[in-house]
Structure 1
Amino acid sequence: MSTALRTTPYGTGGGLLVTPAEPSAGPGALAGVEPKELLDLLAEAGFLLLRGFGADMASFTDLVQRTSTSTTLDPARDFYSEVAQKVDAGHAEVGLHTENGNSPFRSHLAWFFCEKAAASGSQTTVCDGYRVWDELAEPVRTAFLGQDIVYSRHVAEPQWRAMAHHLTGRPAEEIAVEELVGLAASMPGTEVTPEADGGVRYSFRTPAAAPTLFGERISFANSILGPSFNYEKPRITFADGQELSAELLAAVNETTGALTENLDWADGDVAVIDNTRVMHGRRAITDPRRTIYNALSFVEATEPVAA
């Protein structure tokens, strides 16, 4: 039996707070959330915060799996269910980014389950790339439309082997670096070069602003402001090798800062974000008891998704 939903605006943009239409829905209500209805709401809102559904790890995992055609992961994080990994990026503030946005593995959706909310601060942040693109000054928009950006960095051998294992299903120790190079060559915009220490250097070319999962409207959704907690910080340039100027980054910071909103978590909340449209980050952790898990997934798109 499906759970009837009630929606109210969340924040100043398109985001929605989604609650059961009947307050007495109680534990287990998340199992009645229909994937199509959820995705239809997400297409309009960009992000949804689901509250009051009695969510736990099992029902969160079930919702992700029912809504998605496949899931992906960060090989540097531990699993807590078939899809969920603990958010463990230290305690410092985390800049805005799309999940896996600096690699060819960006997911369509980013999911979060709050098992234990913080007593203070520690909010997840969201920033709608549609709004950012509309507010950026014309010279900034022109710069980012003029050419792609390129992320490049060194990846240590244990890390690339973990990812190769995930992609191929074969034991990590049996995968030759030449196979990874060949695999990367099949991914648009991606190059991998072996290095003497056993690691590799990869580069990934992609637009900073592009259409989204649900339509052709341009969104400024990328990882140029984002973190590198488990990996070396990438070098980010334009496709011609030119650095992103301090003035350009300052303009992006000013615009995104004015449009960034907080997700104020409560125990049992679930959030789902269109990872092709909305960037997310985090305020500094002030309560280390905060416990949040995330999952990354793909869905059937009605329009092509730009990498």
Structure 2
Amino acid sequence: MSDRNGWAPLEVRPGDLGAEPSPEALVDYLDSADLGALLTREKAVVFRGFKVPHDGLDPVLDRLLPRRIAYVHGNSPRTKVGSNVYTSTEYPQAYTISMHNEMSYAHTWPTRLTFYCAAAPTSQGATPVVDGALWLESLDDGVREAFQGGVRYTQNLHGGDGLGKSWQDTFETQDRDEVDAFLKGAEASWTWGPDDNLMVSQVRPSTICHPKTGAEVWFNQSDQWHPASLGDETAKALAQIMPAEELPQSVTFADGSPIPDAYVLHVRDRGLENAVDVDWYEGDLLLIDNVLVGHGRRPFTGPRRVLVAMSD
């Protein structure tokens, strides 16, 4: 794990604690540590070499994330594999996933994330993490200024048959009334269309300040929601099928004006350039402050299986 600009996640190993490599040693440490203060100070912490088995994960997660929450309104394809524990992503392994803060497009988002390595990749497959304040600082002045008014996210969720995620998978319910109640509380705009389809629109800020440190950080997923991030050929093919506003997800500036391709590619590339790679070994965990730190995924080969859980 290499650092960029003087920052890297803190690594905690059994030897640092004078302990044997075991999940019990990690639980004992977490019971005695001021985890909130540690995470605010370090932004991200890797628990390396404690050999936490999959069937021994819950006691560790109970301490790292005392209030695990469901992935409701999440846009990434995931599978639920336990008590509010999910696969980290199901995008093809050959692709890089760019830097982002989990659910920064939503009205509320997790404050903490924990990643757990159930199976290490054969090669590559790191989880890159980036200091959100550094990411913001690295952007060109014109790009930062253009985003000052915030962004508008649009989702087109099908009712069970179509491109992208269904609203049932997105909101983990079959009940439209539950979805209506959720979206009303999220201050979103939405309409139900033909074939049980749902269109959701939300205006969100492009940056926020951390509630404890006051640090202003880049905090939006405009590059991931923009067609330009799909690559020239894929974006061109989609544009021939449907306009941007009918894609499963799209983004504009808050006033509805288009975001130039060059801006979102600049944002994407600066995030990845300033990221620090966390390599994976089976049984390791990574805890991050979801406001102070963005994360992504490097391409990989082999059986990589990384799980994620979230906390409010």
Query: TM above 0.5, one fold?
Result: yes
Q: Does 1:218 align with 2:216?
A: yes
What's 2:240 paired with?
none
Distance 1:133 1:38, change over 3 A: same
Match of residue 130 from structure 1: 133
CA contact (8 A) 1:61 1:84 kept: no
Task: Work out whether residues 64 and 114 of structure 2, in 8 Å CA contact, stay in contact via their aligned partners in 1.
Answer: no
Structure 1 range deviating more: 62-71 or 120-129: 62-71
Tell me by how many angstroms 1:58 deviates: 4.4
Q: State yes or no: 1:236 paired with 2:230.
A: no
What's the TM-score once normalised by structure 1's chain length?
A: 0.80
Structure-1 separation of matches of 2:182 and 2:268: 35
Partners of 1:19 and 1:50 within 8 A in 2: yes
Residue number in structure 2 paired with 1:294: 308
1:85 aligns with 2:86: yes
For residue 226 of structure 1, give the secondary structure of its aligned residue in structure 2. Answer: helix
Counterparts of 1:81-230 in structure 2 under 5 Å? Answer: 81-87=82-88, 88-91=90-93, 92-145=95-148, 147-158=149-160, 159-164=166-171, 166=172, 172-173=173-174, 175=175, 177-188=176-187, 190-226=188-224
Q: How far off its partner does 1:141 sit?
A: 2.0
For residues 272-301 of structure 1, the C-alpha deviation after alignment (integer angstroms, 9 at most, x for no partner) is 1111221111111222x1111111111xxx
Q: Is the 8 A contact 2:154 2:251 kept in 1?
A: yes
Query: 1:43 & 1:114 partners in 2: Cα distance?
Result: 23
Offset from partner CA, 1:222-279 (integer Å, 9 cap, x none): 22233799xx642111110011112322332342232022111111110011112211
| Residue 213 of structure 1: how far off its partner (Å) | 4.5
Measured against aligned partners, the alpha-carbon deviations of 1:118-150 in whole angstroms (never above 9, x if no partner) come to 1211111112111111222222222222x0111
Query: 1:18: which partner in 2?
Result: 12
Q: 1:77 to 1:226 in 2, by over 3 A?
A: same
**1:248 matched to which residue of 2?**
263
Give the TM-score normalised by the residue count of structure 2. Answer: 0.79
Say whether the 8 Å CA contact 1:181–1:193 is kept in structure 2.
Answer: no
Q: 1:265 aligns with which of 258, 271, 280?
A: 280
- Counterpart selection for 2:35 from 22, 38, 51: 38
Q: Distance in 2 between matches of 1:185 and 1:211?
A: 25
Amino acid at match of 2:113: A
Answer with 107-116 or 11-20: which moved more.
11-20
Matched pairs, number: 277
**Deviation at 1:10?**
5.9
What is residue 244 of structure 2 aligned with on the other side?
none
Distance (Å, rounded) in 2 between the aligned partners of 1:282 and 1:205: 26
AA of the residue aligned to 1:192: W
Residue pair 2:65, 2:310 contacting (<8 A) in 1 also: no
Q: Residue 265 and residue 11 in structure 1: after superposition, are their counterparts in 2 closer, same or farther (change >3 A)?
A: same
Q: From the superposition, tell whether residues 14 and 43 of structure 1 become closer, same or farther in structure 2 (CA, over 3 Å).
A: farther
Pairwise CA distance, 1:114: 0.5
**Matched-pair contact (CA < 8 Å) for 2:151–2:222:** no
Q: In structure 1, how many angstroms separate the alpha carbons of the residues matched to 2:19 and 2:129?
A: 30
Quick check: 1:95–1:227 contact (8 Å CA) kept in 2? no
Structure 2: where are the runs of 5+ without partners?
Answer: 161-165, 231-246
Identity %: 21
Contact 2:118 2:306 in 1 (8 A): yes
CA distance in 2, matches of 1:114, 1:155: 31
- Deviation at residue 116 of structure 1 after TM alignment: 1.6
**2:92 aligns to what SS in structure 1?**
coil
1:60 and 2:57 matched? yes
Distance 1:18 1:237 in 2: 41
* 8 Å CA contact retained: 1:191, 1:204: yes
The two structures, once aligned, show a CA RMSD in angstroms of 2.6
